[in-house]
Amino acid sequence: MATSSVWLIPLKLLDEDARAIQLAEVAGLRILPEQQDFVGDPLRMMLVALDEGSRFPYVIESAGKAVGVLTLQAGAATLAGWEDDDSAWLLRGFLIDSRCQGKGLGRQAAAAALLEARRLTLRHRGGQTGVVLSVNERNPAAQAAYARAGFVDSGRYLGGDAGPQRIMHADFLNEGGT
Ligand SMILES: CC(C)(COP(=O)(O)OP(=O)(O)OC[C@H]1O[C@@H](n2cnc3c(N)ncnc32)[C@H](O)[C@@H]1OP(=O)(O)O)[C@@H](O)C(=O)NCCC(=O)NCCS
């Protein structure tokens, strides 16, 4: 895989000042109106995740600036239609700023999330063997980004408010997209 130009900044590991700087950048992120069905408000998602023990919020950084966000969550995989909560991390709240989309950053950030989830599993001695997410069937850009990062379509999920979703899963053992 090509060398990645994104870094994941773990908000929970920053001191208060550094975190405030990151959150100010997150507040400036935008998505297109037609994408708002697919993801929540980035600042709100980061603040909620900071408050919850099971969630690990990250700022996606490229060339020294925030270009997106994502969250990894433990014990919640059934929210993406997975068969149990604990065998996989849930990847949620994933977005790239609309001005930075279409440059490969989504694919790279999804691949970085997979690596980070494996590190978290080791650090927290969790039993997860991979990462799962659900993505709207009307969202081909996200499906493509995840597939290019190594996520595999694992079926249909009919939960959620915005219509049918695809369940996508990546196993740590098969890590690595194209
Ligand atoms: C989904 C998202 C994160 C992708 O980020 P990105 O930086 O634009 O993604 P990339 O540039 O890495 O592109 C990924 C792939 O999608 C493809 N793609 C882009 N737009 C597409 C479209 N409308 N239809 C099909 N494929 C598309 C690209 O060609 C690329 O594939 P390739 O590498 O084979 O060329 C971004 O579009 C986004 O933030 N969307 C709004 C929020 C959202 O939908 N989040 C996902 C919730 S599950």
Q: pLDDT tens for residues 60-111?
A: 999 999 999 999 999 999 999 999 999 999 999 999 999 999 999 999 999 9
- What is the model's pTM? 0.95
Cβ contact 159:130 at 8 Å: no
Q: Which residue segment(s) compose the domain that 74 sits in?
A: 6-174
Distance 123 CA to ligand 1 centre (A): 30
**Does residue 28 belong to any structural domain of this protein?**
yes
**Does residue 92 belong to any structural domain of this protein?**
yes
**Does residue 34 belong to any structural domain of this protein?**
yes
Residue 1 has pLDDT above 60, yes or no: no
User: Where residue 74 sits, what CATH number does that domain have?
Assistant: 3.40.630.30
**Does residue 153 belong to any structural domain of this protein?**
yes
Tokens of 101: 């989309």
Count: domains in the chain: 1
From residue 144, give the alpha-carbon distance in Å to each of 28, 51, 119, 151, 169. 25, 31, 24, 9, 13
| Residues whose beta carbon lies within 6 Å of some atom of ligand 1 | 31, 35, 38-39, 94-96, 101-107, 135, 139-142, 144-145, 148
**Does residue 134 belong to any structural domain of this protein?**
yes
Cβ contact 2:178 at 8 Å: no
What integer is the mean pLDDT of 126-152?
96
* N residues, the chain: 178
- List b or e across 69-90, with b for residues whose CB sees 16 or more CB atoms inside 10 angstroms: bbbbbbbbbbbbbbeeeeebbb
pLDDT given at position 178:
53
**Cα–Cα nearest to 25, from 39, 9, 1:** 9
**Does residue 1 belong to any structural domain of this protein?**
no
